[in-house]
Chains A and B, each alone.
Chain A
């Protein structure tokens, strides 16, 4: 459907996008995820034809469109700023793209009505964009981009300006709309929640280069490098050399030892980074022993570390608990709601060795 090959963009000496290649199949929802300044907008603009690539090519429906201007590519695009024409009504905004694609007066009228209903704004055709709320404007902008049935829908952080509740609602709504129409979509965002919740496939970009391309679960559970592990989701981190001289492989992280999953095959002494997702970490109050020592239990279990509660953030449906381990690392755990833990409590931090991500 869409294929990007070796796409590269230099601004002077500065390389904004470096040799990027990926493909999107018919009807897929793909997200381009990366921090701000990683080149994702430049990449999207090259796919849209708004910027010329220094090298590489863009193929849309097996036609090489690299040198075509945007108006000859049959794409639909939604922008962060909505980019609605402020001097036109909602109807005129949607009709604009239809007119450019050769729909006659009658078809335009019917299509505008159809798409306004699709985006739940059937009675707003005579409003100016300025009279609509942010969410409504974004919906009009989507209707405008979709009304003439583009080959692909490009979305440039369309939900970024919205507040959290509206954003979640719009995510659901956008996903439903996309599935309903079956339109191939490329969504650009720096928000991992957007990426993980909506996409069939996520392309993680950093420094103008692709870091990983995979489905959301794999991105979260099997990141391929430190950048992806740290950028997508939170985690607890260790690092140190691998040792194979125990019953199971473990990492010697300074004052602590972390036992690794059984299948982790790495050469001895190789320096690695370890990540454990907060959902896999368990924090519970340490049981005081007869002699008053709280740490005796720890020694007996693998991947069990004594520590002190640093912070408890109650998020309603769950809580995020931060603890400092005696060895100095910071542990982050996602717990059930309102845990009976307070700052300064002595705790025991545990996790299953199978949940450790080794990079």
Chain B
């Protein structure tokens, strides 16, 4: 009688020593060491151990320009997310259902990611500037620069690829016969998009929305390059407190508040949509 031993692709001298726990430990260890510890360190830094109130930095952080920057970050985040989702959905829809050059177009969507954000924002800056092609060749003076609109355009432009890919994936996973079924059941093209395609692509839309929101609400370069003093977002205020005012206590307090707000926001989002499902489908 021979005993059949199930063979693992990993050699036994290795698999005997390394268990799944070890593999998890690498990832968890990395995050703990480089994310959890630094954030905890920020918490410690944000508390005042000298004279005055221990939480005096927090009192400052929740008022005035900082409160405005928090509100602005979330508003810009939401508007950028909506604009980006609309653009990305249209593009992904075209890629999946109409295009014959899917590979080429997908590559073109991804290519901008190879270029540094700062370069891309400068590109937008030049495009809208009085010496840019719009003004020089077409005589269109937009006056867009250093306005909220310019910031939103820049952010949507920068994060579009992150939204196209998950939406493309979930649209691509829709079985074509489901769409045919809707048509034969008497639903027109628009009705089919609304009742079948849109709901079935929701996981991709939700995933894209979360990614774009987190990225854009925390954006530093976009408002820095394309916005004026009135477009300052929370990342800009934190940077200013750190690098210009050298107020590490205040900067830390701002960072801690922002982190808590973002976690809270994602928790609420998760309660409404099933993020596990949405991100798991990527």
Residues of A within 8 A of B (CB): 45, 48-50, 69-71, 73-77, 79-81, 83-87, 96-97, 100-101, 141, 144-145, 148, 154
Q: Which of B180, B186, B187, B199 contacts A83 (CB 8 A)?
A: B180
Q: Other CB < 8 Å A-B pairs besides A76-B184, A97-B186, 7 of them?
A: A48-B184, A70-B180, A77-B180, A83-B178, A83-B181, A84-B178, A85-B196
Task: Write the nearest CB–CB distance from A50 to chain B, whole angstroms.
Answer: 5
Chain B interface category by residue count = 10 to 19
Residues of A within 8 A of B199 (CB): 87
What are 18 sample pairs from A and B whose C-beta atoms fall under 8 A apart? A48-B180, A49-B184, A50-B180, A69-B189, A70-B183, A70-B184, A73-B184, A76-B185, A83-B177, A83-B178, A83-B181, A85-B182, A96-B195, A100-B185, A100-B186, A100-B191, A145-B184, A148-B186
The verdict on A144 contacting B185 (CB below 8 Å), with A77-B180, A100-B191 known, is: yes
Cα distance A83–B191 in the bound complex, in angstroms: 17
**B177 near A81 (CB under 8 angstroms)?**
yes
Residues of A within 8 A of B196 (CB): 85
Residues of A within 8 A of B195 (CB): 96
Q: Does B175 contact A (CB under 8 A)?
A: yes
Residue of B nearest to A148 (CB): B186
Residues of B within 8 A of A70 (CB): 180, 183-184
B194-210 vs A, CB cutoff 8 Å, 1 = contact: the mask equals 01100110000000000
Task: Write the nearest CB–CB distance from B273 to chain A, whole angstroms.
Answer: 13
Q: Which of A49, A69, A81, A96 contacts B185 (CB 8 A)?
A: A96
Cα distance A48–B183 in the bound complex, in angstroms: 9
Q: Does B188 contact A (CB under 8 A)?
A: yes
Residues of B within 8 A of A141 (CB): 181
**A101 near B186 (CB under 8 angstroms)?**
yes
Residue of B nearest to A81 (CB): B177
Cα distance A156–B94 in the bound complex, in angstroms: 27
Residues of B within 8 A of A (CB): 175, 177-178, 180-189, 191, 195-196, 199-200
Which of B184, B186, B189 has most chain A Cβ within 10 Å?
B184
**B180 near A71 (CB under 8 angstroms)?**
no
**A97 near B177 (CB under 8 angstroms)?**
no
Residues of B within 8 A of A77 (CB): 180-181, 184
Cα distance A214–B186 in the bound complex, in angstroms: 32
Residues of B within 8 A of A144 (CB): 181, 185
Residues of B within 8 A of A74 (CB): 186
Which of B180, B181, B189, B200 has most chain A Cβ within 10 Å?
B181
Which of B183, B195, B200 has most chain A Cβ within 10 Å?
B183
**A75 near B184 (CB under 8 angstroms)?**
yes
Task: Write the nearest CB–CB distance from A2 to chain B, whole angstroms.
Answer: 15
Task: Write the nearest CB–CB distance from A94 to chain B, whole angstroms.
Answer: 10
**B175 near A69 (CB under 8 angstroms)?**
no
Residues of B within 8 A of A69 (CB): 183, 188-189
Cα distance A75–B191 in the bound complex, in angstroms: 17
Q: Which of A50, A81, A85 contacts B184 (CB 8 A)?
A: A50
Return the 6 tightest CB-CB contacts between A and B, nearest first: A100-B186, A97-B185, A83-B181, A83-B177, A77-B184, A70-B183
Cα distance A80–B200 in the bound complex, in angstroms: 20
Cα distance A69–B180 in the bound complex, in angstroms: 11
Cα distance A336–B209 in the bound complex, in angstroms: 67
Task: Write the nearest CB–CB distance from A159 to chain B, whole angstroms.
Answer: 15
**B200 near A86 (CB under 8 angstroms)?**
yes
Residues of B within 8 A of A87 (CB): 199-200
Residues of A within 8 A of B185 (CB): 71, 76, 96-97, 100, 144-145, 148
Residues of B within 8 A of A85 (CB): 178, 181-182, 196, 200
Task: Write the nearest CB–CB distance from A145 to chain B, whole angstroms.
Answer: 8
Cα distance A40–B100 in the bound complex, in angstroms: 24
Task: Write the nearest CB–CB distance from A143 to chain B, whole angstroms.
Answer: 12
Cα distance A71–B186 in the bound complex, in angstroms: 4
Task: Write the nearest CB–CB distance from B157 to chain A, whole angstroms.
Answer: 32
Residues of B within 8 A of A48 (CB): 180, 184
Cα distance A148–B184 in the bound complex, in angstroms: 12
The verdict on A81 contacting B175 (CB below 8 Å), with A87-B200, A96-B195 known, is: yes
**B182 near A96 (CB under 8 angstroms)?**
yes
Residues of A within 8 A of B184 (CB): 48-50, 70-71, 73, 75-77, 145, 154
Residue of B nearest to A100 (CB): B186
**A50 near B183 (CB under 8 angstroms)?**
yes
Cα distance A89–B247 in the bound complex, in angstroms: 57
Residues of B within 8 A of A97 (CB): 185-186
Residues of B within 8 A of A84 (CB): 178, 181
Residue of B nearest to A74 (CB): B186
